[in-house]
Amino acid sequence: MIPGRQTAAYDKDLVVFVIGFRVNKFRAFKEWLPVARAMPPMLRELVADQDSGLLGFRTFPGLRTTTMIQYWESVEKLQAFANDPDRTHRPAWTNFFKYAYKSNNVGIYHETFVVPAGHSETIYGNMPLIGLGKVAGVVPVNKRGDTAAERLGGREL
């Protein structure tokens, strides 16, 4: 736990990628289990590659739906990973559409947000490192502005 008010020490462009899957039919484990097992090898590959562009991630498991928030350096690096046939994502994506997608027993989703430098705001009060603060480290709030508007370069939320 880091005492006091902190903000993420990150001031570059950022891509926030939200990805997840949902089990629509629990008994169809032969279809959703491969989807659930596809992400760990991708993450191991990305973490091992310092130039992949993945800055960090956090997983939120649930009963039916599991969601992950990923932080990326750029949309170009995210798309390069996703589309490279020699990396783990492309075969997993192909298998999903070949087998699981047609049955409706498992679903997937993703959302991509491109955040230009200076257009994000964070605050952590008496928290351990989490989210963007875990990716980049934290600094005391007064180093970047005491209010959210100041940390956003004068823009109000």
Question: How high is the pLDDT of residue 102?
Answer: 77
Nearest to 142 by CA among 5, 10, 41: 5
Question: How high is the pLDDT of residue 157?
Answer: 60
Question: How high is the pLDDT of residue 56?
Answer: 96
pTM flag (> 0.75): yes
Residues 6+ apart with CB under 8 A from 136: 8, 9, 10, 55
Angle at 120 between CA 156 and CA 80, to 5 degrees: 145
Helix or strand (DSSP H, E) at 146: none
Q: List average pLDDT for each run of 10 residues in the chain, which is 157 residues long.
A: 94 96 93 90 96 97 96 98 94 81 88 95 96 95 85 73
Nearest to 15 by CA among 91, 83, 84, 70: 70
Question: How high is the pLDDT of residue 156?
Answer: 67
Chain centroid, CA 31 distance in Å:
24
Question: How high is the pLDDT of residue 122?
Answer: 94
CA distance 3 to 90: 42
DSSP state of 73: S
CA distance 57 to 68: 7
Question: How high is the pLDDT of residue 150?
Answer: 84
Structural domains of the chain, with CATH: 2-10+117-151 (no CATH), 14-115 (3.30.70.100)
